[in-house]
Structure 1
Amino acid sequence: MKWSAKPIKHKGENRIAVYFEKNAGLIERIKKINGARWSQTLMAWHIPDTEENRVRFKITPIAYTIPSEEAQIQIEKFKQWMRSKRYSESTIVTYSEALKSFLVFYREKAIADITNEDVILYNNEYILKNNLSASYQNQIVNAIKLFFQTIRETKMLVDKIHRPKRAKQLPNVLSKEEIKLILNAHSNIKHKMMLSLIYSCGLRCGELLALEPVHIDSKRNLVLLKNAKGKKDRIAPLSPKILEMLREYYIAFKPTKYLFEGQISGQPYDSRSLQQVLKQALQKSGITKPATLHWLRHSFATHLLENGTDLRYIQELLGHNSSKTTEIYTHVSTKSIQQIKSPFDDL
């Protein structure tokens, strides 16, 4: 099981981000670490930056080394460039920290002299030697490619920077029966409403928590998703059953700014609390799978495909840029597979 960890600054705190391909066992182990949290933006778990955690995750000293003065200046310029391009602050932090790791490795070399061969050497001598994950390596590549696009004097050929071959993992999908058990597990209408809306519209966790009452178009049975991933607006169809539930919920809770608010009026519901809502639903329904909120979105897409919905429409509903991202659901749809007769039946 390959994983990697690195020190980061997240929401003003010193943290350690832990990257790995999806693994239920490792997720359970990280959850037991005091202060562990999942970040949808970073797409990683992060834990307090303590000496114990540094030893536990074998963080190499290079992660804490200061880059050269030239590199520090260029990293700051890179941050300013990203801000001018309206990148989110979390992306700016992620990319600048990833770039810092690379430039620390070449702190004795002028940035203008760094070449594509140096990227290969870095991958072999740092990434692979320290058994760091492909997802972390890919993040480094993203940062390097973007950074060198902003540098005028460079020997780097950005288009020729290669990415690691990533594992082709299928999305996790729950059956319709399991979804029904989860959505009916809570008697609290707010908890039931949040989980139901994620599944019925195929929403990301952040998209649900950013919803405001004005984003519900009850006349046209639509949900407007503002500034979703990639700063794109999109619409999702609203089930009449969901609309009835929403009306009941609205009367009971009367949200002020966000559709789902926490204990403080006008503040969005906490994403960690929402994860707990799902966890409780799983326990109540007796489902032992390590399901996450994103599993509901995967299940929405797969069930649409199994119902005969065109892949192009599913792509639009999910907000995918590329059809290739959406095509992965064809590999987990059981509609065609279940019709295949096993030769064992003829024996």
Structure 2
Amino acid sequence: MVVEKLAEVTKKWFDENVEQFNQEITNEFLNQAHLSPQTLSQYRSALYHFFKFVHDQCGNKSITDLKPRDALRYQNFLINRNLSSSAVKFKRSSVSSLCGYIELYYSDEFPLFRNIYNKKIPNPAASKRHEKVPLTEEEFFNLIEVLTERKEYQMVAYLLFTYETGCRRGESRQLLRDFVNAEKAIDKKTGEEKPYYFTSEIRCKGRGKEGKLRKFPVSEIAMEALKKWHEERGEDDCPYMFVKKTKEGKVNQLSASTFNYWCTEIFTEIVGKRVHPHLLRSSKATNLSLYGGKSIDAIQALLGHNSPDTTKIYIVKDGEDELDELYE
């Protein structure tokens, strides 16, 4: 199945072509203080795409003049381009959120306006483009061994840190270089050292510009890999652990997309099955639960979920163990 990628809608095009009220209400909506930078970026892209559709296929009407049939047409437009169900749902929810904003704050000007994504418009059916197959401990450490032999010390450090902490890619890239000088965590009751280190606060997924600030526990093996990369990297002015040197010799923090590239173009080839950054998080949860015998509560604490139900989603089971119980 070929996905027809939506062309980028630039701010310049948006400012020059979109109906005036649609511009104003979108910018006002995106200026809400409680939205995180990442959420803002995602909403901006989704709404720009929506108003490009409105411009091209709905006569560039004001959003207050659109009807549920227009919302359905947009949803079908996305589905017919083979976007994943999650991508379609996010673009739909972005438009719905904007409509809710208008309903709440502009009811005096548009008393008859209602959210164009009403309950009668069904969400797209869930679809899985790729089966989620976590890495086993053997596959993961074989990957580490191959990269170590290649002297790809930054990749090794990234993998061990991310796998051991369950960090998302945007969290891993925030790790500061001076973490290699951290002392081991101390047991508050006994005063003894614990077998892990704590990072400084890292901004995680959550509401608002600050998001959720967390300190991640890092194992000894991951710390050793980080120290090795720190040593091999040499001196530079960039405070972040994971970096890239430009042609001009400047050292910058790695982009999240670089982790994607490593996973899809390098790690996948070595392992022999699809690897992506978020798979490391799921692999750690699965291996801790199914093979390490760790509790859902412990895994929930590691991943930083508010609910154990969310944690369970990350643990991939094949279902045969449960079936075997029936015949024991």
TM-score (norm 2): 0.71
Aligned partners of 2:79 and 2:88 also within 8 Å: no
Aligned partners of 1:71 and 1:103 also within 8 Å: no
Q: What is the RMSD computed on CA atoms of the aligned residues? A: 3.7
How far the C-alpha of 1:323 sits from its partner, in A, is 3.8
Corresponding residue number in structure 2 for 1:236: 216
Q: Return the alpha-carbon distance in structure 2 between the equivalents of residues 323 and 13 of structure 1.
A: 44
Equivalences for 1:202-241 in 2 at 5 Å? 202-214=166-178, 217-220=182-185, 221-230=197-206, 231-241=211-221
Corresponding residue number in structure 1 for 2:59: 107
Change (3 A) 1:185 1:276: farther
Q: Return the alpha-carbon distance in structure 1 between the equivalents of residues 221 and 320 of structure 2.
A: 29
Q: Does 2:264 match 1:304?
A: no
Corresponding residue number in structure 1 for 2:304: 319
TM-score (norm 1): 0.68
How far the C-alpha of 1:162 sits from its partner, in A, is 5.0
Q: Return the alpha-carbon distance in structure 2 between the equivalents of residues 322 and 159 of structure 1.
A: 28
Equivalences for 1:37-76 in 2 at 5 Å? 66-76=17-27
Q: Return the alpha-carbon distance in structure 1 between the equivalents of residues 142 and 81 of structure 2.
A: 43
Corresponding residue number in structure 1 for 2:244: 262
Q: Does 2:129 match 1:164?
A: no
Amino acid at match of 1:77: E
Amino acid at match of 1:247: K
Aligned partners of 1:227 and 1:233 also within 8 Å: yes
Amino acid at match of 1:251: E
Equivalences for 1:138-153 in 2 at 5 Å? 138-151=89-102, 152=106, 153=110
Deviations 1:207-254 (A, max 9, x none): 222210355643311234512233222232211222233334333435
Q: Return the alpha-carbon distance in structure 2 between the equivalents of residues 66 and 7 of structure 1.
A: 16
Q: Return the alpha-carbon distance in structure 1 between the equivalents of residues 204 and 144 of structure 2.
A: 24
Amino acid at match of 1:244: E
Deviations 1:131-162 (A, max 9, x none): 55423421221211221122122222777475
Change (3 A) 1:121 1:268: closer
Aligned partners of 1:95 and 1:142 also within 8 Å: no
Change (3 A) 1:100 1:313: farther
Q: Return the alpha-carbon distance in structure 2 between the equivalents of residues 72 and 237 of structure 1.
A: 44
Unaligned runs of 5+ in 1: 15-62
Aligned partners of 1:71 and 1:107 also within 8 Å: no
Q: Return the alpha-carbon distance in structure 2 between the equivalents of residues 113 and 206 of structure 1.
A: 39
Q: Return the alpha-carbon distance in structure 2 between the equivalents of residues 218 and 133 of structure 1.
A: 44
Q: Return the alpha-carbon distance in structure 2 between the equivalents of residues 110 and 179 of structure 1.
A: 52
Corresponding residue number in structure 1 for 2:85: 134
Q: Does 2:72 match 1:123?
A: no
Q: Does 2:278 match 1:291?
A: no
Q: Does 2:136 match 1:175?
A: yes
Aligned residue for 2:7, secondary structure, equals strand
Amino acid at match of 2:244: G
Unaligned runs of 5+ in 2: 186-196
Q: Does 2:151 match 1:191?
A: no
Aligned partners of 2:267 and 2:275 also within 8 Å: no
Q: Return the alpha-carbon distance in structure 1 between the equivalents of residues 258 and 74 of structure 2.
A: 40
Q: Return the alpha-carbon distance in structure 1 between the equivalents of residues 4 and 287 of structure 2.
A: 34
Aligned partners of 1:194 and 1:208 also within 8 Å: yes
Change (3 A) 1:109 1:208: closer
Aligned partners of 1:9 and 1:93 also within 8 Å: no
Aligned partners of 2:85 and 2:125 also within 8 Å: yes
Identity %: 22
